């Protein structure tokens, strides 16, 4: 990833905590479950060489990452979406690894 963004926008997280209050834990649980699902979809699509499904999964994951302030993960998903549009399986594979690394870095920051 060129010019990697910070893993998290702390202002977005603070805003979510204030807005959601007691429901923040549920929001976080939902995001993490959705992220696991999106990662499976990305792997499955790449394994089937279905670049349109890969693009769709990256696009959906990008949106939820943006809502959570997960900047680096959102950027990786944006780039993966572009690889899906281009039908570039090799780039998609590299970007999926970037997505997984960004997600691994993000998880401890959310708790």
For range 24-33, the mean pLDDT: 96
Alpha carbon of residue 62 to chain centroid: 5
Kindly report whether the global pTM for this prediction surpasses the value 0.85.
yes
pLDDT at 75: 97
Per-residue model confidence (pLDDT) at position 94:
98
Report the candidate in 83, 86, 7, 1 with the shortest Cα–Cα distance to residue 42: 83
Question: How far is Cα 95 from Cα 61, in angstroms, rounded to an integer?
Answer: 13
Query: If we measure between CA atoms, which residue out of 60, 66, 52 comes closest to residue 5?
Result: 66
């Amino acid at each position: 990833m060129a010019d990697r963004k910070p893993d998290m926008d702390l202002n977005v997280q603070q805003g979510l905590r204030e807005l959601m209050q007691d429901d923040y834990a549920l929001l976080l649980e939902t995001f993490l479950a959705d992220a696991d699902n999106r990662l499976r979809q990305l792997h499955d699509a790449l394994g089937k060489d279905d670049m349109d499904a890969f693009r769709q999964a990256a696009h959906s994951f990008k949106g939820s990452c943006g809502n959570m302030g997960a900047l680096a993960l959102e950027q990786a998903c944006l780039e993966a979406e572009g690889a899906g549009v281009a039908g570039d399986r090799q780039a998609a594979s590299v970007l999926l690894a970037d997505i997984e690394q960004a997600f691994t870095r993000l998880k401890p920051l959310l708790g």
